[in-house]
Amino acid sequence: MKKILLIVTTFLVSFSMNAEDAKYMKAMEKNVATLDSATAISTYSEVGNAFERIGSANSKEWLPLYYQAFCTVMIGMKQETPSKMDEYYDKAEAIINRADALSPDNSEIVVVQSWINSMKISVDPMTRGQKLGQRSGMLNEKAIKLNPENPRAYFLKGSGLYYTPANYGGGIDKALPVLEVALEKFKNAKNENSIVPHWGQFQTEELIKKCKKSE
């Protein structure tokens, strides 16, 4: 009798876990699909809130926090005042650091950490450029080292070089080869499912066009 009860209990627990996993995947797939086509602040806010709710219900998962941070950065980029930009970038940094605590040494997470530091520079380049530029660069190189096949790490590096003046170590000549590596890695990427990070190919292609137009 005890053996039968154990088998039934194990089955019920397994069934419950599978149902929760399916619910999680369905919610993530829906919101990642919405995020893929988002352009407006209202959409980023709505889907960011959805990822926050998913993360609260799945506290051991890093991806909801990752996407919540992503949405927060995008909202920050669309703000009109430095103080509001900083508010969102600081919030995004706190969120992505929580994801980092759940999944340390994750190349995708480190890419977003680097990206946030880059965006903070844009708020006040003269004051923040040296310190945060070094931090962003170190994080970007860490992301590449953790996963040399991560195209977003190369995209971020290439875009950083593109927007950095030649006399400060950047410029189109240095950016283009890195962006072309990024594009090749995007084309060769094999994503395990639809909810893993997959953004960046379109942005890479557009930046390559700008580089070639300026040559």
Q: pLDDT, tens digit, for every residue of 181-209?
A: 999 999 999 988 999 999 999 999 999 99
Residues 89 and 185 reside in one and the same domain: no
Residues 79 and 150 reside in one and the same domain: no
CA distance readout (Å), 197 to 22, 156, 173, 207? 19, 14, 28, 20
| pLDDT at residue number 168 | 83
Residues 136 and 183 reside in one and the same domain: yes
- 181: domain CATH number is 1.25.40
Residues 50 and 149 reside in one and the same domain: no
Alpha helix (H) ranges present in the chain?
2-36, 41-57, 63-77, 82-102, 107-123, 125-146, 151-163, 172-188, 201-214
Q: Which amino acid is at 151?
A: P
Residues 115 and 214 reside in one and the same domain: yes
What is the rounded average pLDDT of the residues 17-34? Answer: 89
- pLDDT-derived band at 11 (thresholds 50, 70, 90) equals very low
- The range of the structural domain enclosing residue 53 comes to 1-104
Contacts of 42 (CB under 8 A, 6+ apart): none
Residues 61 and 117 reside in one and the same domain: no
Residues 110 and 174 reside in one and the same domain: yes
Nearest in space to 35 (alpha carbons), one of 49, 22, 20: 49
Pick from 50, 83, 104: which residue ends a domain? 104
- pLDDT-derived band at 165 (thresholds 50, 70, 90) equals confident
Pick from 85, 104, 123: which residue ends a domain? 104
Looking at the structure of the chain, the number of domains it has is 2
